[in-house]
């Protein structure tokens, strides 16, 4: 698992040059616009909601002593809750609606790696790619929220909250990598088969998602570059995994 996580992270090295080499930047124009607009909407909403959530949590404390301290802690936790849920929503929204634009990117990367320009994989339309992206991300959003809420509650427990923060980050990373991998898997597998494939390669998904999440902490530039970099890196990993599991095409992969 750790080896796969590191591999998922290391694949980002050189992806910027590969995007330029294959002239892929034009495919990212609309997804970048989607990313920036979504980030602005969620960011402004989070700014307004954090204090309200903090005060709501503070009302749980019925006593006068320690009220100020508990309120401060609640406001901080409220901010974390908003950021965590905001990142979850942002991630799945941009990945769902960018699906039809990311599929051609992963296809060109696969052709570059395998040397096969025309594949014999599943043929899907723009509408089908969009629907699959929405379906995958609604499914992942539900599961991610299901695991996220208990981890947020653990933040009220000293020391334990440190571990819950790490687990929360890795959880978000996994589902980010999951979405990126499916852009390539969409051509090879049906919905359920794709889920099973990623389940066998959780480390790669987490590694890809770790860098994805770190990009989001870079002001402005992060939301612009997060999809181009993460989708390209994920495509490289996923094509290699497909070749290993089902080497239909024995051509040597060259980056």
Tell me 125's DSSP state: -
Q: Are 39 and 223 in contact (CB under 8 A)?
A: yes
Q: Are 94 and 100 in contact (CB under 8 A)?
A: no
Distance separating alpha carbons of residues 16 and 68, to the nearest angstrom: 49
The residue among 164, 216, 191, 244 whose CA lies nearest residue 4 is: 244
Task: Give residue limits of the domains in the chain.
Answer: 2-28+98-245
The pLDDT assigned to 253 comes to 41
Q: Reduce the secondary structure of 188-209 to three states and give it as a string.
A: CCCHHHHHHHHHHCHHHHHHHH
pTM of the model: 0.84
The pLDDT assigned to 122 comes to 66
Residue pointed to by tokens 């590191």: 6
The pLDDT assigned to 251 comes to 42
The pLDDT assigned to 82 comes to 78
Block means of pLDDT (10 residues each) for the chain, 255 residues, are 93 94 93 92 76 70 71 73 83 93 91 76 79 93 91 77 88 95 92 93 96 92 93 95 70 40
Question: What would the two tokens of residue 173 be?
Answer: 């990373």
Question: What would the two tokens of residue 41 be?
Answer: 């909407």
Distance separating alpha carbons of residues 159 and 112, to the nearest angstrom: 48
Distance separating alpha carbons of residues 249 and 102, to the nearest angstrom: 23
């Amino acid at each position: 698992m750790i080896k796969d996580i590191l591999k998922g992270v290391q694949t980002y090295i050189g992806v910027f040059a590969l995007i330029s080499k294959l002239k892929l930047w034009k495919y990212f124009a609309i997804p970048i616009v989607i990313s920036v607009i979504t980030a602005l909407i969620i960011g402004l909403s989070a700014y307004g909601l954090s204090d309200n959530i903090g005060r709501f949590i503070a009302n749980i404390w019925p006593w006068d002593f320690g009220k100020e301290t508990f309120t401060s802690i609640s406001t901080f936790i409220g901010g974390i809750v908003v950021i965590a849920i905001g990142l979850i929503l942002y991630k799945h929204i941009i990945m769902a609606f960018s699906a039809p634009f990311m599929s051609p990117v992963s296809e060109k990367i696969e052709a570059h790696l395998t040397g096969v320009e025309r594949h014999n994989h599943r043929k899907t339309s723009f509408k089908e790619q969009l629907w699959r992206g929405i379906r995958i991300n609604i499914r992942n959003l539900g599961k991610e929220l299901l695991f996220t809420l208990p981890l947020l509650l653990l933040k009220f427990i000293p020391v334990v909250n440190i571990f819950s923060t790490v687990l929360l980050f890795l959880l978000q990373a996994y589902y980010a990598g999951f979405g990126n991998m499916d852009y390539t898997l969409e051509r090879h597998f049906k919905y359920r088969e794709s889920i099973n494939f990623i389940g066998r390669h959780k480390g790669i998904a987490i590694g890809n998602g770790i860098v994805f999440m770190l990009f989001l902490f870079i002001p402005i530039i992060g939301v612009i570059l997060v999809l181009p970099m993460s989708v390209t890196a994920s495509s490289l990993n996923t094509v290699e995994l497909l070749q290993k599991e089902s080497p239909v095409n024995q051509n040597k992969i060259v980056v």
